[in-house]
Amino acid sequence: MMTDHKQTTKQASGQQDVKVERITAADRISGDEGIEEERKIRPACFADYPGQERAKHNLQTYVQAARMRNQVLDHVILHGPPGLGKTTIGQIIANEMGLPFVATNAATIEKQGDLVGILASLERRTTIFVDEIHRLPRAVEESLYTAMEEFILDLVVGEGKSARPLKMPIAEFTLVGATTRISLLSKPLLSRFGIQERLDYYTVAELEQIIKRAASVLKIPCSACGIAIIAQRARGTPRIANRLLRRVWDFAVVAGRTSIDAEVAKFAADKLEVDTLGLDNTDRQIMGLIAERYQGGPVGIEALAATLGEDRRTLEEVYEPYLVYKGLVSRSARGRILTAAGQAHLQRSCVS
């Protein structure tokens, strides 16, 4: 029988409140493990990468063809919800090509000089991974065009009357861009990616494979039933699955268990307030508001955001995608609507 171990934390006098990050967040959160542990559980080749079969097969084909022709791989754009493995696929592409890999975030490339510093130092045929590529400033984006097409940087040297154009050759490279909001990419930039692949949420069976592999690498003993419960509540997202695995193992260790079984997995998930669909309190609050205050909808996104005290973009980018994917909430021209499946899940949650 599991015992409820409670821990209270007191704030020091004058200390500011800290916003609690969601255990079900698809983006990285401060409680996630360090780079070394992530590197351990990250697949290094397509053969070890479960799921994303369509995109994976296509990318394997393109990589193999580039190797057979001894040519640089076309630029690749990977898009879809966060936490699905875009960075991992970028690393795998470099590994399968047998070439160097460099990773950066578009938020760190603020001006043309930042881009020049990165591209000018690349080894030949390096795979450069740019996360959140939709955040590139327009001036930087325009500098990428000739770099991607001709492997030349168009620069302006000097200032005023002494300024002169300069074409600077750079090494061939493959740009792998990742974005959760492909609609924000300009058409000229998007057109320069010869390979465009969307990543979708994972099935429970695929997440079970991912959790089983991670548990083996991290030496966490797990039963098949324990793995299945974690996979079911991981919102179709490997990053969340791996995070839940570590947190459930914390509960197991404190309870004196030597492995994760169904009982400890369910107990931990309940304490984390993550239900059988992977929804947390905020998800259920959103659905409850639509059901009760707005009679099931439709309700405009602005009204919903104001009622919840959340930013509209946060609702649209963080909470809504999974609720819509699971068919619990639907979008219409008039606003958000709680579906019959959403109503049924809310009723089950109230009963349990």
Q: pLDDT by residue (tens digit) across 146-180?
A: 899 999 988 766 666 666 777 889 999 999 999 99
- Give the angle subtended at the CA of 166 by the CAs of 163 and 172, to the nearest 5°: 150
Specify the pLDDT at position 11.
35
d(CA 216, CA 206): 16
**What are the residue numbers of the active site?**
86-87, 131, 180, 239
Task: Provide the pLDDT for residue 92.
Answer: 97
Q: What is the pLDDT of residue 27?
A: 67
The one-letter code for the residue type at 132 is E
Q: What is the pTM of this model?
A: 0.84
Sign of CA dihedral 181, 184, 189, 191: positive
Question: What pLDDT does 36 receive?
Answer: 61
Would you state the torsion angle of the CA atoms of residues 141, 122, 156, 74, taken in this order, to the nearest 10 degrees?
A: -40
Question: With the C-alpha atoms ordered 23, 25, 31, 32, is the resulting torsion angle positive or negative?
Answer: positive
Predicted local distance difference test score (pLDDT) of residue 315:
87
DSSP string spanning 47-81? GG--S-HHHHHHHHHHHHHHHHHT-PPPPEEEESS
Cis preceding-peptide flag for 298 (omega within 30 of 0): yes
What pLDDT score was predicted for residue 8? Answer: 35
Q: Could you say which residues of the chain have pLDDT below 50? A: 4-20
- How far apart are the C-alpha atoms of 299 and 336, rounded to whole Å? 5
